[in-house]
Structure 1
Amino acid sequence: MPSSAVDHSLEAKRLELALNAARLGEFEWDIEQDLLRVSERMAAITGLPAGALKGGGGDAIYSFVHLEDRAAVRAAVEESLRAEGRYEAEFRLAGEPGRPDLWLRSSGDVVRNEGGKPQAICGVIQDITQRKAEEDQRQTLMAELDHRVKNVLAAVQTLAQQTAKRTTSLESFLSTFAGRLKSMASANELLTAARWRGAAIAHLAAAELGGIAPGQTRWEGPELFLTPRAANALSLALHELATNALKFGALSSEHGRVNVRWHRRPGDGFELTWTESGGPTVQPPKRLGFGSTLLEQVTGRELNGEVRIEYPASGVRVVLSAGDQAVVERPDTVPAAPAARAAAPIVTDIEDADLGGARVLIVEDAVLLAMELETGLSDAGAEVIGPAYELEEAMALLDQPVDAAVLDANLNGRSVTPVAELLAARGVPFVFATGYGDTGGAPGGFDAPIIRKPYDVTQVAAAVAGLLAGRRARS
């Protein structure tokens, strides 16, 4: 066999392999003979018979385009062929009523004779149904994300306004508002881990009660999962109750106890009971604060149920009932129960965390948050290095002496690990301030404290002060 024939055979084989790998089907419209030649691969994709078909002056080449798309596709293709001698188009495949749409991508080029007259159009067809489905899913997810973000922002705005109306000092507002934000963040972490399919009551209780008054709180009940709306409402309710118990109720005394129990009501949601005991003698409040208003007017409505607050002398008792609409089936993905975390250090004034001229590096990609950290740490006496908003900026700043650092775990999609590794190698302590959920330890497995966003800058200052004190004690 001549070498040219062998080369042609190999080239044809390679072309066939490439077309199969790309799941492409080829065709040719012979304009001079008005024939549409359909390959076996294209026939398998479109359902057209393989072989030569009558072209019908070009009608045949558009016969597999969905009727609703056909006129627009034909006009666009013919215009592109006239202007550029080639075309690309995406369209739905004509099919039977009730059958899911199949999407195709087609591209082709004009083949001209020696005189420059169009002789044929050669092209390929590709099934892009999966890609279109993924694009639609992304659009749906983006729309849902946009909806949720707006809802969260509206809820935060309302919390800020209502908290401000019922507090008499800036310190009180910041403390109360920050606590409510953290409660919302805890619920959102659990929901995100479960892909927003639901959150377990036990996990919500653990997130709110697991880190306060060790040994004084207990929660128990069957496995129940709540809708995102109900989970956020219950998380905020538990936070308000826990805060009140710490300030005035059972948890303000070392002998006090809080017991939370819930049970399923067949066909009618669930009931949760919060019971305090062993604390100061209880008297009904003379004035209802926002926490009580939230419980009585908001929580019950959000749970399609009601809330009843009782004030026996032995301890506050709250009975929260929820409708069946608040409960969902067990999600496919269920996160592990939140690890019990000690409550963040209580710092009522930034000056309580004395950083005494310590050189503190700030690595944070959120500009407003970095500015707040810079101001807060400077007020506490630190000499701030940075802030660094990008990984390269942070690495460059490590050329100078650093006593401690505050690191965001993710910098515009890039891990802060290289910075943490250099700091650890030099024995420089650092704290992670991150918006990522609780995954069981510090990012990268480093032995470092973690402060979850949203946080108050006083928490960060207190954590850095603790790191420096520990370093001084070891040296």
Structure 2
Amino acid sequence: MFEWDIATDRAIWENRRMFEIFGVAPDEPSPGKAEFTQFYLHPDDAPLLEESLRKADQQDQSFRLVSRIIRKSDRELRWLEVSGRFEFDAAGMPVGLLGVAADITERKQLEEHQQLLINELNHRVKNTLSVVQSLAKQTFKGGDPASLAALDGRLKALGQVHNLLAERSWEKASLAEVAQRCISFQGADQLRIHMEGPEIQLTARQALTMAMVLHELNTNACKYGALSQMTGAVNLSWQNSCDQLIITWAENGGPPCHPPTKRGFGSMLIEQAARADLQATVERDFRPQGLVCRIAIPEQRVVS
């Protein structure tokens, strides 16, 4: 714990841990900002300190800094996290800072190691998808080109969302981002696909499932539905309603829509994947002006 007087640039370290973090003997004076910047703070992180200090105002009195320091006792590079609150005078000018500091080096090292593992996982999964695509091309060689194209499209949709999840450290991805990635890579005119809805976060597994569902809907729209004609359009919307997340895919302006005479693999994939991974129900309404697909997911399955 520490106190810093801004006017005099004097700091008071109020416990032994502060001296241990900076590698300073307990009988040495505590450094102020000038000495901290010159002898302890990593030069590349000096702009971070200045930016954190510039943000001080009475509306937001908090202070936070994560930076590297050079410990005095052994010149070892360490990670420091500082949190505090500014004090202001009657004129609204900051006069002091009361805060706490923590050495987070071990946490940073664990985060870096985790990122290395994630990068390795991403590399291996990408290679696996490439191998599956190659095997599929060899397996379908001389066979039905449409079947190969369908499988290739599904693998590419998975690859797109895989890249998105890799950017998010395989934690979460928003429904809007998943939809954009799935639709954009297929070359559909995004101006003809209107998306709207609140911020919804999906787990990694949910994101992959939703990618498959939206890919099938978009593929069918491009082949047979609204997007197969220049006059057609799609409205993709989602909203919370009665403890459910309702996702609606509504087509219009395309060729006349009729119920299929038999259920295809894509339809079964949509229904089974949504039910298994999202506990969702799927309703499809083949209206004359275009397909309307409604997916209802229990609200507790997703994070608003």
Q: TM-score range by the shorter chain?
A: 0.5 to 0.7
Deviation at 1:145, TM superposition (A): 6.7
8 A Cα contact 1:269 1:327, kept in partner: no
Q: 1:228 aligns with which of 175, 189, 204?
A: 204
Match of 1:295 among 270, 273, 276: 270
| Shift in CA distance, 152/180, structure 1 to aligned 2, threshold 3 Å | farther
- Aligned 1:47-66 pairs, distance under 5 A: none
Unaligned segments of structure 1, at least 5 residues: 1-17, 24-128, 330-475
CA contact (8 A) 1:221 1:261 kept: yes
CA contact 2:192–2:234 (8 Å) conserved in 1: yes
Q: State which of 276, 289, 299 in structure 2 corresponds to 1:314.
A: 289
1:275 aligns with 2:250: yes
Match among 195, 198, 208 for residue 219 of structure 1: 195
C-alpha distance in 2 between matches for 1:152 and 1:245: 30
Aligned to 1:21, the other structure's residue is in SS state coil
Q: 1:200 aligns with which of 165, 174, 178?
A: 174
Deviations 1:41-87 (A, max 9, x none): xxxxxxxxxxxxxxxxxxxxxxxxxxxxxxxxxxxxxxxxxxxxxxx
Q: How far apart, CA to CA, are the structure 2 residues paired with 1:181 and 1:303?
A: 20
CA distance in 2, matches of 1:301, 1:265: 21
Please name the residue that 1:382 is paired with. Answer: none
Which amino acid in 2 is paired with 1:220? E
Contact 1:227 1:326 survives alignment (8 Å): no
Paired residue secondary structure (1:223): coil
1:184 and 2:237 matched: no
Of 130, 148, 164, which residue of structure 2 is paired with 1:174?
Answer: 148
Structure 2 distance, partners of 1:157, 1:301, is: 24
> How far is the alpha carbon of 1:301 from its aligned partner?
2.0
2 CA distance for matches of 1:247 and 1:198?
A: 31
- Counterpart residue number, 1:345: none
CA displacement, residues 189-234 of structure 1 (integer Å, 9 cap, x when unaligned): 2222222221111222222334413532211111111111111111
2:227 is aligned with 1:251? yes
- Corresponding residue for residue 115 of structure 1: none
C-alpha displacement of 1:252: 0.9
Larger CA Rg, structure 1 vs 2: 1
- Alpha-carbon distance, 1:325 to partner: 4.7
CA distance in 2, matches of 1:157, 1:214: 29
2: CA distance, partners of 1:245 / 1:322: 22
Distance 1:287 1:250 in 2: 20
- CA distance 1:137–1:325, change in 2 (3 Å): farther
Q: Which residue of 2 aligns with 1:5?
A: none
Partner of 1:21: 74
Any runs of at least 4 consecutive aligned residues in structure 1 with deviations exceeding 4 A, and if so which?
Answer: 143-154
- Contact 1:249 1:315 survives alignment (8 Å): yes
Can you list the C-alpha shifts for 1:96-151, whole angstroms capped at 9, x where unaligned? Answer: xxxxxxxxxxxxxxxxxxxxxxxxxxxxxxxxx938x8469837974997599679
Q: Deviations over 1:311-369 (max 9, x none)?
A: 2222111111123354236xxxxxxxxxxxxxxxxxxxxxxxxxxxxxxxxxxxxxxxx
- For residue 138 of structure 1, the aligned residue among 81, 90, 113 is 113
| Residue 179 to residue 20, structure 1, CA distance change in 2 (3 Å) | same
Higher strand fraction (1 or 2): 2
Q: Paired residue for 1:397?
A: none
Structure 1: which amino acid aligns with 2:215? H
Question: Take 2:225 and 2:260, find their aligned partners in 1: how far apart are those partners?
Answer: 12
CA distance in 1 between counterparts of 2:296 and 2:124 reads: 28
- Residues of 1 paired with 2:263 and 2:112: CA distance? 46
Cα distance between partner residues in 2 of 1:139 and 1:220: 34
CA contact (8 A) 2:282 2:293 kept: yes
2:234 maps to a residue whose letter is V
Counterpart of 1:242 in structure 2 is: 218
TM-score normalised by the chain length of structure 2: 0.55
Whether the 8 Å CA contact 2:240–2:299 is kept in 1: the answer is no
Does the Cα contact within 8 Å between 2:161 and 2:182 map onto a contact in 1?
no
Residue 183 of structure 2: which of 206, 209, 214 is its match? 209
Question: Once the 2 structures are TM-superposed, how far is the Cα of residue 245 of structure 1 from its aligned partner?
Answer: 0.6
In 1, distance between residues paired with 2:198 and 2:211? Answer: 17
How do 1:80-159 residues align onto structure 2 when only pairs under 5 Å count?
130=106, 134=109, 138=113, 142=117
Q: When the two structures are superposed, what TM-score results if normalisation uses the length of structure 1?
A: 0.36
Range with bigger deviation, 206-215 or 236-245: 206-215
Closer/same/farther in 2, CA of residues 310 and 21 from structure 1, 3 Å limit: same
1:157 CA displacement:
6.4
Q: Is the 8 A contact 2:126 2:159 kept in 1?
A: no
Q: Which amino acid aligns with 1:227?
A: T
- 1: distance between equivalents of 2:251 and 2:296? 18
Alignment-mate amino acid for residue 275 of structure 2: G
